[in-house]
Amino acid sequence: MAARGLDREARQGLALVAPPFAYVLLVMAAPLLVMLATSLFLFKTGYREYVEGFTLANYLQVWADPIFRALMLRSLWVAGLVTLATVVLAFPVAYFLSFVVSPQRKALWLFLITIPFWTSYLIRVFLWSVILAPNGVVNSILDFFGLIERPLRMLNSVEAIVVTLSHAYAPFAILPIFVALERIDRALLEAGRDLGENRVMTFLRVTLPLAMPGVVAAALIVFIPTIGDYVTPTLIGGGRVPMIANMIQSQMLDQDNRPLGSAIAVTAMLVVAVLAAVFMALNRRFLKVRA
């Protein structure tokens, strides 16, 4: 009877989840598989000429390409810096929200933090080019106080891209850390203090390890989409600091080499997946204590 009941529940659950799951299979999974197949079974030999059949030629070409390696490394470097900046800057805010703000005020703070994230991504990114421009906000302020003789050149650099992306992905880092901090049983902190630890040691030995699942989630949630960001290198880099997304787009459309473009996309995804897996493995001991 119990087994039958569970069976029925399982069937009902599967029937319910089928429409959204089918949509995801059709619109996300199937295209990704087609992309994989395109990279493995087609090779472009000339204008609208393709050789069919299994081949690793696209992948060999990708790995042999110094431009791919340079752009991939740059994307990883940028995403790594952005992740570090967002997580380090966001942690104190998440801590403040969880431990200092009164419970009635928390929702308001969260709302205020998330609002900029939902609005006009494109214009926000563009405004950073206004802020960092030679006649922009930062230079105007520095000039006003007489701190510089001539405007600083900040645009079209990796640093400018990092600043812009750190701003764009900031809320993504706060929320998972906040949720992890909220889950911490406050009695554990008291126990730490009762056992003679001071505030700093309690934070380092109790709060921080318990918050690590949130930190790991925040890092991944920021790292993965930033690698593939297209808008910021285009607008802030001014075309001079391309990242991997620009290369995928250029191969797919400008060069019209879809097999090679697909191979770049698949390779980039594999690199990111491997790094994410390594990162999670390194933090395994923190992720296990989640209870």
Partner 1 sequence: MRPNWLGAYALLYLLFLYAPILLLPLFAFNDATIVAFPLRGFTTQWFGEMWENATLRRALGNSLIIAGSSAVLSTCLGIFAARASTRFRFPAKGGIMGAIMLPLVLPEIIVAMSLLVVLLSIGVTLSIVTVIVGHTLICMPYAITVLTTAFASLDPAFEEAAQDLGESKWGAFRLVILPLVMPGIISALLISFTVSLDEFIIAFFLAGNQPTLPTYIFSQLRFPASIPMIMALGTVLVLLSIVMLTIAEYFRRRGAARTGQNDRGFL
Residues 40 to 69 in contact with partner 1, rule: CB under 8 A: none
Residue 117 exposed, middle or buried by CB count within 10 Å (0-12, 13-18, 19+): middle
Q: How far is the CB of 238 from partner 1 (least distance, A)?
A: 11
Map residue 43 onto helix, strand or coil: strand
Binders of partner 1 among 148-207, rule CB under 8 A?
167, 170-171, 175, 179, 182, 199
d(CA 285, CA 291): 13
Q: Pick from 71, 154, 180, 245: which binds partner 1 (CB under 8 A)?
A: 245
Binder of partner 1 out of 161, 235, 241, 263 (CB under 8 A): 235
Rg (the chain; Cα; Å): 24
Instruction: Count interface residues toward partner 1 (CB under 8 A).
Output: 86
134/209 with CB nearer partner 1: 134
- The residue within the footprint of partner 1, chosen from 62, 165, 221, 236 (CB under 8 A), is 221
For residue 119, state whether it binds partner 1 (rule: CB under 8 A). yes
Nearest to 76 by CA among 277, 276, 234: 276
Structure tokens given for 151: 């405007």
Report CA torsion sign: 254, 260, 261, 267: negative
Contact call for residues 226 and 78 (beta carbons, < 8 A): yes
Shortest CB 250 distance to partner 1, Å: 11
Q: Would you say 212 and 283 are in contact if contact means Cβ atoms under 8 Å apart?
A: yes
Among 1, 2, 122, 281, binds partner 1 (CB under 8 A): 122
Least Å distance, CB 275 to partner 1, is 13
- Pick 3 or 100: Cβ nearer partner 1: 100
Considering the complex, what minimum distance in angstroms separates the CB of residue 45 from partner 1?
Answer: 18
**Which residues, including other chains, have CB under 8 Å from residue 110's CB and lie 6 or more apart?**
97, 175, 178
Contact between 92 and partner 1 by CB under 8 A: the answer reads yes
35 contributes a contact to partner 1 by CB under 8 A = yes
**How does DSSP classify residue 150?**
S
14 binds partner 1 (CB under 8 A): yes
Q: Which of 41, 59, 126, 279 binds partner 1 (CB under 8 A)?
A: 126
Residue 265 binding partner 1, by CB under 8 A: yes
Minimal distance in Å, beta carbon 196 to partner 1? 20
The backbone region for 256, taken as left when phi is positive above 0, alpha when psi lies in -120 to 50, beta otherwise, is left
Answer for which of 131, 160, 162, 210 binds partner 1 (CB under 8 A) is 131
- Identity at 136, one-letter amino acid code: G
Q: Rule CB under 8 A: say whether 27 interacts with partner 1.
A: yes
The correct pick among 32, 142, 204, 287 for binding partner 1 (CB under 8 A) is 32
Q: How far is CA 131 from CA 10, 119, 136, 240, 243, in A?
A: 55, 18, 5, 19, 22
